[in-house]
Structure 1
Amino acid sequence: MSAPYSLTTRLTVFFTLASAFVLIGLGALVAVSIDRHFVELDRDALRDKIHLMREVIGKSKSPQDLQTRLDEVLHSHEGLFVSVTRGSEALYSTPGFEFPDNLAEMTRGARLGVAAWQAGTRNVRGMYDSVSASGSGDAPLQVSVALDTAHHKHFMHDLIRVLAVYVALATLVAGILGWWAAKNGLAPLRAMRSRAMAITAKRLDERMPSQEFPIEMADLATTLNEMLRRLKEDFDRLSEFSSDLAHELRTPINNLMTQTQVTLGQSRTPEQYRDILASNAEEYQRLGRMVADMLFLAKADHGLILPTTEKIAVHAEVQALFDFYEALAEEKQVHLKLLGAAEISGDRLMLRRALSNLLSNAVRYTPPGETVFVEITADLHGTTVNVTNRGPAIDEQMVPRLFDRFFRADKSRKQLDSEGSGLGLSITQAIVHAHRGRISVSSDSGKTCFSMYFPSANSIGKHQTTNA
């Protein structure tokens, strides 16, 4: 397959063809107009000749006198042919020239009353008229006059040749100018391309100066800038995620290596080895959970999570989690309270995991003596589950990033009371999205609320129908 032509080439060819079409049309219009003008000139000349014939016929006293006068008159009119007849009798005829028998019909149907035909090698135009001889009771005379149009033909031939040369040269010049205009007109696009080539993974902060581009390209530059902004944000998050992942994996691996090296440093009793292996198993379990969570999130990113669908009593799942967290809540002197009830269609295990993540965080950060509320509301469109707790407000700048992987508000990572890996909220968001829902968070006035919304089956069907 041949490479596509450049935009400059396409614009040049288009402009050249358009110019050629316009120039050819203009040349044809000029040629037709001049030819029409020649017909009008010949018509006026033929009328003058017929008027002259009327005068000559009016002054003639006999056919012989008519022939004599016509010979004298036509002697000074080169290229003029005359025929005068009365009925079938020829009174005068220019030697060596014959008029068509149907000239009267030809002139009646011709443009401007002027007939054109070829007589031998001559191209002529003629006119027919009926003239009454003055002072005679005889039948009227039929007068036919014709002009040789060879000079018109030569002029038109030279004109068409000149026009053809002019059209060819003008089309060539138009093509060159079109190429120059296209090349310079697309210069901003080439500048945009040069700037785009300069953008690398280390220079994602480069932007297109949209104000320097023409209006037609300013929108494209703005769109590219927006794309670069999103890429930079995603790249920064990916870089931070890679750093966080390395940190999270390094901690348990270092613990395992240090403990193993210390253990191998001297002989120990079987009980001591058993305790060390038990401690190592805990670290392995932590690594296993982290790997499983990362695999879960990777599948969520590619849409590979297909939750099984069943009717789930959300309030029953929340109550079961209350029973599970009851001991931890009593230890921290935190109360748990459930408000409302509803059912949704979804995956039971995934929903319980999402609720467990939110409850775990709420219990962990709720001050003693306060209450964690789980409020369930439902309508025709879907079900909303709000998990609310009192405690320190989250910084507004931190709120948009709470669902990022490994994100923690404490950058020093000195959360001694937390055993999480920073993936809980990311997993919760992935679960909600897998159920075609949405999750949000608000934190102000010492109250933090995580809100999960699950659309009803009817709402999902209507949404899909509308998109289709």
Structure 2
Amino acid sequence: MSRWSLSNRLALLFAACTAVVSLFAGVLFSRGSEAHFVELDRQLLETQLIGVRRAVQDTHGHDPRMRLDDELSRQADLTLRIKDSNGTQWHGSPIPAPPELPERPGLSTLRDADNDYRVLNALLYPDRTDSPQLTLLLNITHHQHFLQRMQRLIWLTVGLSALATALLGAWAARRGLRPLRRMGAIASSVSARSLNARLPEEHMPVELAELARSINDMLGRLDDAFQRLSAFSADIAHELRTPLSNLLTHTQVTLTRERSLEDYREALHGNLEELQWMAQLINDMLYLAKADHGLLALHREPLQLAEEVDILLDFFAPLAEDFNVRLGRDGESLIEGDRNMLRRALSNLLDNALRFTPSGGEVRVRIVDVGQGVSVCVENNGEGVPADLLPRLFDRFYRADPSRQEGSSSEHAGLGLAITRSIIRAHGGDIRCESAEGWTRFVIELPKNK
């Protein structure tokens, strides 16, 4: 059963349901017909019983047997037996009857080798205790033959209905599952080079439209992730190419001729700076890889955000003074988090804000309690970020200013905001960027307890 196709399963289910319903309806009809015949036979026998009693009473003391025979002659399949109070048969119809008849009063059914009978036992004189016993037998063999034919017809109908429903169900299921086969054909054609393929949602049944929409969304996410991965690989190659080229060129130039010890020492110091840049870049990439796989180990402790922000503002105060930028902080809150990670995230945001704030501008940090969490906003005035660039600010190696070249740390290579987002998400929060009316805001939302 587990290997059967969905069409065959549906066809079998349809056939089984049809067979059960047909059988149930047939049994009900058969039982109803049988009960109907029983009621008709009862009415006929009770009518004949009244006629027999009336025929006996109308003889006025004469022998009533001729009158009884005349009365019963109108019903060819009816037999009468009358026994006196001693059990001796007093009268009987010439039509043969079974030798053994039921003795209990009322209506009953009797079957012998060839025929079926409905039997009614009653007293000839209901008001007398020594009344003879009257037995009326109605041959119902034709009724039983009809019921048997009907039962055979019911079984035949059940079988044919199940077969017809199985065939029609298989056809209907195969036709109804055609959209699934189309989905399978499109899905089988999807590869790394064709992630832009999408399932048609317009002509899908309602039940499959939602599935097609979910698959299309999944393909969209895969396409986006693949594009990001491809861009990420290209960005890594681009970021490492420059320091490697510098190392090779510097080393080749140094080795072109004999140099003094001081020249070699200077060359090694230059190479060391490039190697430190590459090591920091690789370390940050490993950090992001751990964050993607949920491997960042947080050391949570109670933190006063106001104190942590003030420490960072004091650290950036000399740089802000050189840039002629004012620093400020509003609000305070207590949360649980990893001190070093949160300092790194806020430091990245403050460094980014200072580098893009014009002289005479301002960088503010606002801390606000929001329900069960806290909102930390790092904002600076100056030239805003276009709305179409906002969703990409947290991408790795993405630069809002394409003209900016590599700096002295990996944060300036386009990893700072990506690392910040990974840290915030590791704390169960989220971060977004807003830019409007000359202000750019990075809004962090963190839970107080996680």
Equivalent residue, structure 2, for 1:102: 103
Q: Which residue of 1 aligns with 2:146?
A: 155
1:223-265 CA-to-partner distances (Å, cap 9, x unmatched) read 2222222222222222222221221111111211222222233
Mapped to 1, the partners of 2:68 and 2:359 lie a distance apart of 137
Q: Which amino acid aligns with 2:427?
A: H
In the other structure, the counterpart of 2:365 is: 374
Deviations 1:400-426 (A, max 9, x none): 211111111134x44477761110111
Partner of 1:321: 312
Structure 1 equivalent of residue 157 of structure 2 = 166
CA distance in 2, matches of 1:140, 1:380: 99
Residue range with higher mean Cα deviation, 312-321 or 387-396: 312-321
Structure 1 residues 57 and 315, CA gap change in structure 2 (3 angstroms): closer
- Say if 1:432 and 1:452, in contact at 8 Å, map to a contact too: yes
CA distance in 2, matches of 1:317, 1:129: 109
User: What residue is the counterpart of 2:20 in the other structure?
Assistant: 21
The 1:407–1:49 alpha-carbon spacing in structure 2 relative to 1, beyond 3 Å, is same
* CA distance 1:141–1:218, change in 2 (3 Å): same
Instruction: For residue 210 of structure 1, give the secondary structure of its aligned residue in structure 2.
Output: coil
Check the 8 A contact 2:407/2:413 in 1, yes or no.
no
Residue deviations 1:203-232, cap 9 Å, x none? 222222212011222222222222222222
- Give the AA of the match of 2:433: V
Letter in 2 for 1:250: R
Match of 2:439 in 1: 447
Tell me which residue corresponds to 2:181.
190
Aligned counterparts of 2:371 and 2:382: Cα–Cα separation in 1: 33
Residue aligned with 2:221, SS: helix
Q: Deviations over 1:107-160 (max 9, x none)?
A: 1xxxxxx32223575421122444469xxx997654322122222223322332
1:301-348 Cα distance to aligned partner (Å, 9 max, x none): 111112212334444444443443344333333333344454443222
Instruction: Write the deviation string for residues 283-302 of structure 1: whole angstroms up to 9, x where unpaired.
Output: 10000000110111111111
Pair 1:80 & 2:81 matched: no
Assess if the C-alpha contact under 8 Å between 2:52 and 2:71 holds in 1.
no
The residue type paired with residue 355 of structure 2 is R
TM-score of the superposed pair, with normalisation by structure 1 = 0.84
Query: In the alignment, which residue of structure 2 is the partner of 1:46?
Result: 45
Note the 1:124-273 alignment, pairs <5 A: 124-131=117-124, 142-273=133-264
* Partner SS, residue 375 of structure 1: strand
In 2, Cα distance between equivalents of 1:346 and 1:138:
105
Change (3 A) 1:203 1:380: closer
- In structure 2, the CA distance between the partners of 1:156 and 1:425, relative to structure 1 (3 Å rule), is same
> Which is further off, 224-233 or 72-81?
72-81
TM-score by length of 2: 0.87
Mean CA deviation greater in 252-261 or 150-159: 150-159
Q: Structure 1 272/38 Cα, relative in aligned 2: closer, same or farther at 3 Å?
A: same
Q: CA RMSD in A?
A: 3.1
2-side partners of 1:388 and 1:191: how far apart?
51
Q: Secondary structure at the match of 1:211?
A: coil
Residues 139 and 210 from structure 1, CA distance in 2 versus in 1: closer, same or farther, beyond 3 angstroms? Answer: same
Structure 1 pair 139–282 and aligned structure 2 pair: CA distance change class (3 A): closer
- Quote how far apart the aligned CAs of 1:17 are: 1.0
| Structure 2 equivalent of residue 115 of structure 1 | 108
- 1:39-77 deviations in Å (ceiling 9; x for gaps): 2343344345435534643565777x4445555666785
SS at match of 2:359: coil
- Could you say if the C-alpha distance between residues 383 and 182 of structure 1 is closer, same or farther in structure 2, counting changes exceeding 3 Å? closer
Check the 8 A contact 2:110/2:117 in 1, yes or no. yes
- Output aligned runs, 1:394-405, within 5 Å: 394-405=385-396
Q: Which runs of 5+ in 1 are unaligned?
A: 108-113, 461-468
Q: Percent identity?
A: 39
* Native 8 Å contact 1:380 1:456 kept in 2: no
User: Could you say what secondary structure the match of 1:397 adopts?
Assistant: helix
Cα distance, 1:249–1:100 mapped onto 2, change above 3 Å: same
The one-letter code sitting in structure 2 at the alignment partner of 1:229 is G
Change (3 A) 1:41 1:265: same
| Letter paired with 1:167 | V
Whether the aligned pair in 1 keeps the contact of 2:306 and 2:333 (CA below 8 Å) is yes
Unaligned runs of 5+ in 2: none
The range that moved more, 344-353 or 207-216, is: 344-353
Q: Cα deviation per residue 1:257-277 (whole Å; 9 max; x = unaligned)?
A: 222222233332222221111
Rounded Cα–Cα distance in structure 2 between residues aligned with 1:380 and 1:370: 32
